[in-house]
Amino acid sequence: MMGAAQPGLIQRDRARLWHPYAPASPGLPLWEVEAADGVRLRLRDEDGARHDVVDAMSSWWSVIHGYRHPVLDAAAQGQLERFSHVMFGGLTHAPAVELAERLVDLAPSVSGRPALERVFLADSGSVAVEVALKLAVQFQTASGHPQRQRFLSIRGGYHGDTFAAMGVCDPVDGMHSAFPGLLAGNVFAPRPPAAASATPADMQAWVAALGDIAAAHSGELAAIIVEPVLQGAGGMHAYPAECLTALRQAADRHGLLLIFDEIATGFGRTGELFAADHAGVVPDIMCVGKALTGGYLTLAAMLCTSDIAATVSNGRAGALLHGPTFMGNPLACAVANASLGIIGDGGWRADVARINTGLVSGLAPALDLAAVREVRTIGAVGVIELHDGVDVTAVTAAAIRHGVWVRPFRNLVYTMPPYISTALDVERITAGMTAAVAEVHERVPASSGSSS
């Protein structure tokens, strides 16, 4: 036990560490994780009190099979006994080869034949996006279009925190204003209409706007990059799958590559294995990450067609110009293979459907709260959107009191539970989210009929 004079772990953290999108602040609210098992986290707060909570976030989309999964633990231990890391320049190993084969087999295909046949293993989602953008430019150059160096994206997107990735994030809500000299140059079509309310007229207008902007800039564009069907960190915005068909057509008409960033949506989260599968659209390049290792280790991948790979390899540069130190880390690949093995068993489909049912019924009561603007779900994702910004610290603390770990942002309190969550876990999550919003953002209980 620590004496009162010794600083606790949380104080030591505050003195030394950065956290995501956070100031180096003496007052940053933090909870220590003492243990994690299945869908549960054991948290300890600054006063030493313990809180057993259900993880509603899957540690940011990644821990789809839960913490300490026996199959993933065994895969990590097994590889640890062989070797943890070797360089990938000039060397190869079974976990990386097996992972590439698995990814190609799972990825969107054309009439049952693999369409994305070449895999680049990257160390994080942002890096996979960097590699995808780089590959697109190298492809255009090798195809005789060296002037095609810019990208077309849609507003409301999020693709990561490195510079090229930031450059295709939403130009207003993203980080463009903080780095104006470094992030200019890309073009943005409007955000697609919301899946829940899109009318045929909305769709027509959006497709026309997309076509106009693609036509206006076609000579200088290398690729279109979007998060298919669900924009995540840019606002948890679900849009109609038909938009993917329009994006494919716009790309084909103007000689652009189509990049799908499936880093959040991949591996079943939206109810199909990949969000692209909702429309049967095959991109030229696809990025995956987050859930790839079941949340155990950092790993991502970029897949592309054989044609792109051959064109770039035969171009003047003669190679794809990227190669991280920890490329194809064997430990991460071994765990990814175990995670994809579980995905391959197919149980995720029933899991995601069960979770969706629980989210739909469990979040419905939140609509009665005056502070709530909208409730929406897609697959194993549930969102409560408020009219105004969330008091993140207060809602997080309130949810913990109700036994749930959530991490709201902007005006959104949202969940993407691990696939192993039972109906009861989902009930606890939705009840906790709703109660936290009610306690923090409703002065007058909605049942009194207040409309403010």
Ligand X SMILES: *Cc1c(COP(=O)(O)O)cnc(C)c1O
Q: Closer to ligand X at the Cβ: 300 or 395?
A: 300
Q: Shortest distance, CB of residue 341 to ligand X, whole angstroms?
A: 22
What one-character-per-residue DSSP string does 169-203 give? S-TTTSSGGGSTTTS---EEEPPPPPTTT--HHHH
Q: Would you call 391 a catalytic residue per the annotation?
A: no
Closest CB to ligand X among 263 and 342?
A: 263
Residue 75 binds ligand X, judged by CB under 6 A: no
Mark the segment that binds ligand X (CB under 6 A) among 157-165, 340-348, 370-378, 433-441.
157-165
Binding range to ligand X, per CB under 6 A, among 154-162, 199-207, 351-359, 419-427: 154-162
Residue linked to tokens 């039972």: 422
Q: What minimum distance in Å lies between the beta carbon of 227 and ligand X?
A: 5
> Cα(359)–Cα(417) distance, rounded to whole angstroms?
10
Find the binder of ligand X among 55, 130, 170, 261 (CB under 6 A).
Answer: 261
- From 121, 263, 375, 413, residue interacting with ligand X (rule: CB under 6 A): 263
427 in Cβ contact with 388 (< 8 Å): no
- C-alpha 80/C-alpha 334 separation (Å) is 10
Residue 61 or 436 with smaller CB distance to ligand X: 61
Considering the complex, state which of residue 261 and residue 425 has its C-beta at the smaller distance from ligand X. Answer: 261
Tell the smallest beta-carbon distance from residue 198 to ligand X (Å). Answer: 21
Q: What are phi and psi of 5, to 5 degrees?
A: -75, -25
Task: Give the separation between CA 299 and CA 79, rounded to whole angstroms.
Answer: 16
Active-site entry in 158, 296, 414, 419: 158
Smallest gap, in angstroms, from Cβ of residue 169 to ligand X?
9
Rule CB under 6 A: say whether 269 interacts with ligand X. no
160 part of the interface to ligand X, by CB under 6 A? yes
Of 207-215, 260-268, 311-319, 444-452: span binding ligand X (CB under 6 A): 260-268
Rounded Cα–Cα distance for residues 423 and 253 (Å): 46
Return the SS3 of 70. helix
Region of 303 please: left (phi>0), alpha (psi -120 to 50) or beta: beta
| Contact by Cβ (8 Å): 158, 231 | yes
Least CB distance from residue 238 to ligand X, whole Å?
Answer: 14
What are the counts of helices (DSSP H) followed by strands (DSSP E) for the chain?
13, 18
User: Are the C-beta atoms of residues 79 and 330 closer than 8 Å to each other?
Assistant: yes
User: Considering only 99-107, 155-163, 238-246, 439-447, which stretch makes contact with ligand X by CB under 6 A?
Assistant: 155-163
Residue nearest to ligand X (CB): 125
Residue 227 contacts ligand X per CB under 6 A: yes
Nearer to ligand X among residue 261 and residue 277 (C-beta): 261
CB 62 within 8 A of CB 291: yes
Tell me, residue by residue from 109 to 148, as one string, x for binding to ligand X by CB under 6 A and - for no binding. ---------------xxx--x-------------------
Q: 229 or 398: whose CB is closer to ligand X?
A: 229
Is residue 226 within 8 Å of 247, Cβ to Cβ?
yes
- Residue pair 433/366 in contact by the 8 Å Cβ criterion: yes
Residues in 228-257 at the binding interface with ligand X, rule: CB under 6 A: 232-233
261 is catalytic: yes
Closest approach of Cβ 237 to ligand X, in Å?
A: 12
d(C-alpha 168, C-alpha 188), whole Å: 8
The catalytic position among 123, 261, 284, 425 is: 261
Residues 6+ apart with CB under 8 A from 172: 155
CB of 165 to ligand X, least distance (A): 6
Is 413:386 a contact under the CB 8 Å cutoff?
Answer: yes
Question: What is the Cα–Cα distance from 167 to 183, expressed in whole angstroms?
Answer: 5
Q: What angle do CA 291, 295, 296 make, to 5 degrees?
A: 135
Contacts of 295 (CB under 8 A, 6+ apart): 58, 59, 62, 63, 64, 65, 67
* 105 labelled catalytic: no
- Which of 134, 148, 159, 269 contacts ligand X by CB under 6 A? 159
Q: How many residues bind ligand X (CB under 6 A)?
A: 16
Q: Is 158 a binder of ligand X (CB under 6 A)?
A: yes
Give the Cα separation of 281 and 272 in Å (integer): 12
- Taking CB under 6 A as the binding criterion, the range among 22-30, 64-72, 158-166, 326-334 that sits at the site for ligand X is 158-166
59 is a site residue for ligand X (CB under 6 A): no
Rg (CA), the chain: 22
Kindly name the residue from 284, 290, 296, 414 that is annotated as catalytic. 290
Among 156, 235, 289, 294, binds ligand X (CB under 6 A): 289
Question: Residue 33 is encoded by which pair of tokens?
Answer: 């994780």
239 is catalytic: no
Interaction site with ligand X (CB under 6 A): 124-126, 129, 158-160, 227, 232-233, 261, 263-264, 289-290, 300
Active centre residues (catalytic): 21, 158, 261, 290
